[in-house]
Structures are given as C-alpha cells and as structure tokens.
Amino acid sequence: MDDDKVALAGEFALGLLQGQDRQDALHALNIDPQMRAAVQAWEEDFATCFFGAATVDATPPGAAWSRIETTLFGARPVPIWRRALQVAVAPENRGLVIALALAKIGLLAWILYLFL
C-alpha cells in the first residue's frame, strides 16, 4: 500500500477530513479493502494510544494543577479578609499596625477608666 493511502487513512481515522476529501475517503473505503484495513489499523493504533493498557491515569501534583488552572482560567479571586490580612502583615505596614494596636489599647484603657 502506498504512503498516500496510509496517510489518507490516518487522516480519516482522526476525523481531519472535511467536504469533498471526506466523501472521496468514504468512497475509497467502500470499494478498496486495503483502505478499509488501513483505517482499521489506524483506529486500533489510536485506541491503543488513547485507551489502551499502556496509558496510566496520571494526576498532576496539587501545585502543578493549581498553576495549570491559573494559566487557563486566571487567578482565583482572593477573599477580602485574606487581602486585608496580607496588607496588615506586610513589612511596610508594621508601623501602622503597631500604632493602631496601641491606639486600641489606649482607647480600651480610657473606656475602662471611665466606666469602672
């Protein structure tokens, strides 16, 4: 069998042919037993590649899977409380956080002084 016929059988088995090329391949399948055998061989090869015992169901590690999802769909939205926490513990905001904590302690002490 010539290489063109084998290539045509492979394209047909993959579903790559459209229009008149597909009609010509279907006609060749009906009249040519070698073409039928070639298409069947391609389909068996593809079935072995995609669904055979040689394939292993592999799940990527969690970090890789999250990178894949981020690449495909973009980053997931971060909850507001987590963003606020990240801003609060950022090194450049430590002075502000300490000042706010001292102000809260002072306010609490003043309220306790007034009511006790």
Domain ranges of the chain: 3-51, 62-115
pLDDT, tens digit (0-9, with 9 covering 90-100), for 26-78 = 998 899 999 899 999 888 888 777 666 555 667 778 788 888 888 888 888 88
Q: Where are the beta strands (DSSP E) in the chain?
A: none
Distance from C-alpha of 33 to C-alpha of 39, rounded to nearest angstrom: 10
CA distances in angstroms from 93 to 4, 81, 84, 99, 102, listed in the order given: 70, 16, 11, 10, 14
Q: Which residue has the higher pLDDT, 51 or 105?
A: 105
Instruction: State the pLDDT at residue 51.
Output: 67
